[in-house]
Amino acid sequence: MGGFIIVLLCVVGAIAWGLYAGKKRRDAMTLLAEKLGLSFSSERNYRLAERYGFLDKLAQGSNRYAYNILDGDYHGHPVTVFDYHYETHSTDSKGRRQTHHHHFSFFICSLGKHLPELTIAKEGILSKIAQSLGYDDIDFESHEFSRKFVVRSKDKKFAYDFCNARMMEYLLGNPDLNIEVESDALAIGYASCLRVDDIEPCLRQLIEVRNLMPEYLFEKAR
């Protein structure tokens, strides 16, 4: 009986802490929105998840929704920043179905033009395995850049234009950025929900990447 009470108290404590942490994050993001001149909504938004479902990182799992959404104009560019949730499922050794909840931060700059799909990520063991299976990435004249990043796109010309000398130099100085371009979106995703204090610096990085894109890409875009 005593053990059950301890477990119950732990569960209640975890729920209470989760509610407290969630409210604290919402309050901090409300203040950040006011500082940046953006709108803020803490509500779950399934339409936003569907709108950008073509982006690889947002197309995982089930029960996908955005929340804690910052939206508006930032330094002359339309941006949307949000926490994101999706679920995956597994079965344990006893055949019981388990649900796993995944949360991370995601940043989108709307481009106003449709561009080819492009992904840029730091080289890692999984990407090396993928290459060994025939999923080749694009190589560049900069051997250092090619060694540190995996760049994939069906449109190699667009990839070379996007990864110009200034962009490669910037990415080499910020090697943890995971970038995706598709349709009218430039996106940067993270592995987990960022601290609220880190959101503004990461938003500046998003705009810096956008500003390093050659303007002729938008003149040629359909």
pLDDT at 9: 44
Whole-model pTM?
0.85
Q: How far is CA 22 from CA 6, 18, 65, 203, in A?
A: 24, 6, 16, 21
Count CB-CB contacts under 10 A for residue 145: 19
Residue 98, judged by CB atoms within 10 A of its CB (0-12, 13-18, 19+), counts as exposed
Domain boundary assignment for the chain: 39-220
For residues 134 and 125, what is the distance between their CA atoms, to the nearest angstrom? 15
CA 165 from chain centre, in angstroms, equals: 24
Instruction: Tell me the pLDDT of the chain (222 aa) as tens digits.
Output: 555 455 444 444 444 444 455 689 999 999 999 999 999 999 999 999 999 999 999 999 999 999 999 999 999 999 999 999 999 988 877 777 889 999 999 999 999 999 999 999 997 533 443 343 344 689 998 999 999 999 999 999 999 999 999 999 999 999 999 999 999 999 999 999 999 999 999 999 999 999 999 999 988 655
Q: Which regions of the chain does DSSP assign to beta strands (E)?
A: 39-41, 62-74, 77-91, 97-122, 149-152, 178-189
For residues 65 and 58, what is the distance between their CA atoms, to the nearest angstrom? 9
